[in-house]
Amino acid sequence: MAEKNMSDVLGSHLRRSILKRRAVQLARPIDKPEIPPGRQYVLFEIAKQQFACDIKYTDEVFQLKSVLPVPGTPPYILGIISLRGLLTTVVDLRHLFNLYEKSVLTSDRCIIAKKADFQVALLTDEVLGLEFIADDDIQDGVSIMDNIPRQYVKGITINGTIIIDCRHLLSVEALEVNQ
Amino acid sequence: MDPEFLSKLREAFKEEAAEQLHSISTSLIALEKSPDLSKSTIESLLRTFHSLKGSARAVNVDTLEQCCQTIESLLVGYRDSGISIPGRVASTLNDAVGSFQKTIHDLESVPDEELEADLLNTLSALAALEPSGVIAMPETPQAAPEAGHESTIAPGSRLDAGSSVRIQVDKLDEVVKLSEELVNAKLAFAQRLVECQELSSLLNQWSRRWQRLRPELENEVMRRTSLAYQKNQDYSPQTNALREFLDLHDSFVGSLMESINAIEKSVNADRRSVDTLVDTLLSRGRELTMVPFSVLKDLLKRIAWDISRQQDKRVNLKIKGGDVEIDRNILDELKDPLVHLIRNSIDHGIEAPEDREALGKNPEASIEITLEPIGGGKVRISLKDDGKGIDVAGVRAAAVEKGLAGAEKIEELTDQQIMQLLFRSSFSTKDAVSHISGRGLGLTIAKEIAEKLNGSIELSSQKGRETVIQITVPVRRATMVGVTARVGSQTVVIPTVSMRSAVRARDQDVRMIQGRWTMSFNERLLPVVRLADILQVHSQTSIEDSTALIVGSVEQPIALLVEDVTGEQEVAVKNLPQPLTRVRSIAGATQLKNGDLAVVINMNDVLTSSILVSTLTTGEFPAAPPTPAQSKPPVKRKILVVEDSITSRVLLKNILETAGYLVSVASDGQDGWEKVKSETFDLVVTDVEMPRMNGFELTEKIRAEATLADLPVIVVTSLASLEDRRKGVEVGASAYFVKSNFEKSNLVEMVKRLI
């Protein structure tokens, strides 16, 4: 009786240690599904051309109500607006990207683009939404984007979406008006 | 004292003191990092040491009490003298705090005698710091008067945290900005009220119409009813419905009107309360950023002390009216010019102590800064020193010598006008002049800032006795009164201070004279320029239908045309947002009372715009005062042509020689610069794009040189862009020609006008 008990105890001990080992084996971190390196982008359209902005440089999308033109500024400066009390410059990328002739529609959708303290509102024809774009899908597309100044562009996707180089575009140096 | 009570008291003391020491050491660390820390840090240190002293006395730790006393006097000295606390002192204080912490930790567990012995070392170290001569010692031990009552607080009770909190200025600004945005809520309410009124008037109209038709309808119902009655029939369902509707309609419309009226009333009441709240919030918000001038006191005193020590001079800086409150931003702007002015004053204005004594003056010189609110939201800051004053004759001589203008012109200037010359950077920076004037670049800087802040600066002096500089600035930033005017489709704000009057153009004698629009005003012939042209805004309003603003200097007034003046209001000017660093003719933007944004005009830029400059140089408007050159007999004028392209160079040379000028050539900007310096020319014609030095750089260099500052420069270039044109004007070009629409007669004509 006592012996049987003993073997029971041993058996259960053994079983438990086997279970434990299996549990440890099973508890390995699950292989994560393969996510290619890349990031989220805000997609928008200007003059029938799709553009994408890294989401970390965007703040909000809003409807432009009225904009005050500032006399004497270059055409890419549409004007200024007061965004919750903060004066913000509205930039018309069509002029910066030489897309003006192709553009027909103007919409009132703006994206607030931000880098540190620097903030501007980018006028778009349409904001299309968010999309994940893998780094591998971005190609260097110099030949296709002949009219857009090279320094503002990071690349182009297979679908023809132009990835804007926000780090360069969103700076006083790139857009400054200093007369 | 009852030992049991004492020990209870000491427990409480330990807790309280630990807290106080923590706060002290935080302040000390901050102080060590930046010794320039303001008075408020010292003030708070003082308060804490003072209450620690009181508690220590209450629990019989006498040496600690003495240490605190010593520290207090030390800090009071630094506070009152405005000298920053040296690192050596700060570190000794730190050590002292360390030993206090140990004492408090060991209190009750270690015999008092031992603790006291340790503290005595600290005390002697502290005492060694004390008398450094410069530091004024306080007469009474009651050093921190604000903290006086705290000594009576029983130990163990919590320190009163005070009724104020520190807020980062950025955060405050953000809140103020947001509250400004509430203006929109105000406007929205007004709009809702209008909508309610419209609705109620529509309903009224309906009701009146209904009242007119009602008898007809009633008759119809009656007719049908009696008809049915006559035929002994039941009423038709339609007749029934019609009768019911008639009965219902009145009560329905009545209740609708009632509710609309009720809504209108409550909207109106809400609007009024929102209006009041928003207005109050806005004005309180602006008050929040106001600080007394005395926050600069320490800094200014220290500067004065430092500089006078370096120069072995003795100066007593006094500030009167330091409690006048000024917007923090304005005070920030004023800080630099004030520092410069004090530096200049000590450098050049104040004599060495022995010289002063020889002159019978107090060897200790005095610089007095007085603040006086002068109404209209402005404050006058005068900075007066009792130094040697300004030698006007000397400045006059130097002006002639430096070639600032012809000798005969200098002779005509009054003493006051001569002193105005000192504000010119090209003049005041000259060593010789600084020496004579007793002033330096500080005046130029102060003038720039004062004007930027919409203020003014004046200089007066009595030779050998004093120099007084008066700066008048608004106490609140960028709230200024502006005229709202329509230009093209835009409303712009024009600072009221920059204009003298506004008249309707049709009421004045507006005429075309020699191809230029002119206007007679107060028996003077004024050039007429449209603001729309300067801003390059499209405008269709004819000159006759415009309103003329009289702007510019007294000597050279200008009629600036706008389409219409719509009103005048106080506006808060904001800088243009990034990336608009500077836009010509635009000073900033503001939100108007109706909620719209509008740009604010920079009148200085407008008055120096190329259009205006060319109008003035080509029209028959006597520039005041007439230049001596005009009275000279005609001689062959010398022109320098600076151009890198050989073809253009030969072409220009030929054109100008044909017109009867003596022409020299240079092959690029550098070459041109050397020639301009070595020979005398009456005019320079330069290309823009050239190797080594471009035309803009050349123009800038010419303008910066006092002897050449008045030499006319015509810029000829293939660049047609507006930016370049502006750049040309900005660097000081007298005229600008674009090669693409280049006509030789034009150039010759322009040359003729300029020389």
Note the ipTM here.
0.77
Which residue in A77, A81, A84 is closest to B580 by CB distance?
A: A77
Which of A71, A81, A176 lies nearest to residue B599, judging by beta carbons? A71
For domain B479-602, the CATH superfamily is CheA-289, Domain 4 (2.40.50.180)
- Interval A91-97 mean pLDDT: 86
pLDDT band of residue B505 (cuts 50, 70, 90) is confident
8 Å CB contact of A177 and B490: no
Closest-CA residue of chain A to B575: A87
Q: How confident is the model at residue B478 (pLDDT cuts 50, 70, 90)?
A: low
Query: In terms of CATH, what superfamily is A38-175?
Result: CheA-289, Domain 4 (2.40.50.180)
The residue of chain B nearest to residue A65, with distances taken between CA atoms, is B596
Residue B136's pLDDT is what? Answer: 34
Share of chain B above pLDDT 90, in %: 6
Bridge partners (DSSP) listed for residue B572: B479
Q: What is the largest CA-CA distance in chain B?
A: 132
Residue of B nearest to A86 (CA): B177
- To test the contact with chain B by mutation, choose from A66, A67, A70 the residue with the greatest count of B C-beta atoms within 10 A, namely A70
Interface-testing mutation among B184, B536, B578, with chain A (most A C-beta atoms within 10 A): B578
pLDDT of residue B142: 36
Q: Do B596 and A85 touch (CB under 8 A)?
A: no
Tokens 């471009």, located at residue? B694
pLDDT band at B441 (very low <50, low <70, confident <90, very high): low
- Segment A127-159, tens digit of pLDDT: 888 888 888 888 876 666 667 788 888 888 888
- pLDDT in the model for residue B343: 84
Query: Between A and B, how many residue pairs show a Cβ–Cβ distance under 8 A?
Result: 95
CA distance B447 to B336: 12
Region A34-51: mean pLDDT is 84
The strand ranges marked E within B321-402 are 325-327, 365-375, 378-385
Q: Which two tokens stand for residue B36?
A: 């320039």
Q: Is pTM, for the whole model, over 0.80?
A: no
**pLDDT (tens digit, 9 = 90+) per residue, B563-573?**
988 888 777 78
Mean pLDDT of B512-524: 80
In the prediction, which pLDDT does B368 show?
92
Domain B296-390+438-474: CATH superfamily, name plus number? Histidine kinase-like ATPase, C-terminal domain (3.30.565.10)
Helix (H, G, I), strand (E, B) or coil at B399: helix
Peptide bond into B337 cis (omega under 30): no
Residue A108 vs residues A127, B52, B491, B633: alpha-carbon distances, Å: 10, 64, 22, 65
Q: Which has the minimum average pLDDT: A59-73, B194-208, B438-452, B660-674?
A: B438-452
Q: Comparing B24-33, B221-230, B431-440, B579-588, which segment has the lowest mean pLDDT?
A: B431-440
- Note whether B490 contacts A: Cβ–Cβ < 8 A: yes
Do B295 and B331 form a contact (C-beta atoms < 8 A)?
Answer: yes
Q: Does the beta carbon of B171 lie under 8 angstroms from any beta carbon of chain A? A: no
CB B478 within 8 A of CB B573: yes
Q: What are the φ/ψ torsions at residue B597 (nearest 5 degrees)?
A: -85, 150
**B441 phi/psi in degrees, rounded to 5:** -65, -20
Average pLDDT over residues B89-96: 81
In this predicted structure, the answer to whether residue B494 has a pLDDT above a threshold of 80 is: yes
Lowest mean per-residue pLDDT among B468-477, B618-627, B635-644, B737-746: B618-627
Q: Which of A2-6, B150-154, B170-174, B417-421 has the lowest mean pLDDT?
A: B150-154
pLDDT confidence band for B308 (50 / 70 / 90):
confident
Residue B623 pLDDT level (bands cut at 50, 70, 90): very low
Smallest Cα distance from A10 to chain B, Å: 58
Q: Mean per-residue pLDDT for B580-588?
A: 88
Please check whether residue B652 is in contact with residue B672, taking contact to mean a CB–CB distance below 8 angstroms.
no
Q: How many helices (H) and strands (E) does chain B have?
A: 25, 24
Give the residue among B752, B745, B749, B747 at the shortest CA–CA distance from B737: B747
The sign one gets for the Cα dihedral B235, B239, B241, B245 is negative
A177: closest chain B residue by CA: B580
> At how many degrees (to 10) do helices B183-230 and B169-181 cross?
30
Cross-chain Cβ contact A66/B596 below 8 Å: yes
Q: Six-digit token pair at B430? A: 């000259």
Per-residue confidence band for A42, with pLDDT thresholds at 50, 70 and 90: very high
pLDDT band of B381, cuts 50, 70, 90: very high
Average pLDDT over residues B319-342: 86
* Shortest alpha-carbon distance between residue A79 and chain B (Å): 10
For residues B9-21, average pLDDT: 81
Contacts of A176 in chain B (CB under 8 A): 579-581
pLDDT mean across residues, chain B: 78
Q: What CATH class is the domain B3-152?
A: mainly alpha
Give residue B369's pLDDT band: very low, low, confident or very high (50, 70, 90): very high
Which residue in chain A has the smallest CA separation from B181?
A85
| Mean pLDDT, residues B205-213 taken together | 88
**Residue B359: pLDDT band by 50, 70, 90 thresholds?**
confident
Most confident of B162-171, B674-683, B735-744: B674-683
Q: How far apart are CA B300 and CA B445, in angstroms?
A: 17
Task: List B462's β-bridge partners, or say none.
Answer: B466
- The answer to whether the CB atoms of B537 and A71 lie below 8 A apart is yes
Give the angle subtended at the CA of B293 by the CAs of B82 and B75, to the nearest 5°: 25
**pLDDT at residue B646 above 80?**
no
Report CB contact under 8 Å: B722, A72.
Answer: yes
Residue B663 neighbours by CB distance under 10 Å: 19
Q: Is residue B170 less than 8 Å (CB to CB) from chain A?
A: no
Share of chain A above pLDDT 70, in %: 83
Out of 3.40.50.300, 3.40.50.2300, 1.20.58.1610, 3.50.50.60, which CATH number does the structure's domain B628-754 have? 3.40.50.2300
Burial label for B119, CB within 10 Å (0-12, 13-18, 19+), is buried
CA-based nearest residue in chain A for residue B598: A68
pLDDT of residue B89: 79
All residues of chain A having their beta carbon less than 8 Å from the beta carbon of residue B608 are: none
Please answer yes or no on whether A73 and B580 come within 8 Å at the CB atom. Answer: yes
Which range has the worst mean pLDDT, A61-65, B37-41, B450-454, B749-753?
B37-41
Q: What's the gap between Cα B429 and its chain centre?
A: 25
Task: List Cβ neighbours of B414 (8 Å cut-off, separation of 6 or more).
Answer: none
CB contact (8 A) between residue A68 and residue B589: yes
Query: Pick from B493, B500, B562, B490: which is nearest to B529 by CA?
Result: B562
List C-alpha distances in Å: B462 to B385, B458, B465, B732: 11, 14, 5, 36
Confidence band for B137, pLDDT divided at 50, 70 and 90: very low
Quote the minimal CA–CA distance from A31 to chain B in Å. Answer: 46
pLDDT over 80 (residue B674): yes
In order of B27, B89, B296, the CA distances from B40 in angstroms are 10, 18, 12
E strand or H helix at B548, and its extent?
Answer: strand B547-552
Q: Which residues pair with B315 in a beta bridge?
A: B365
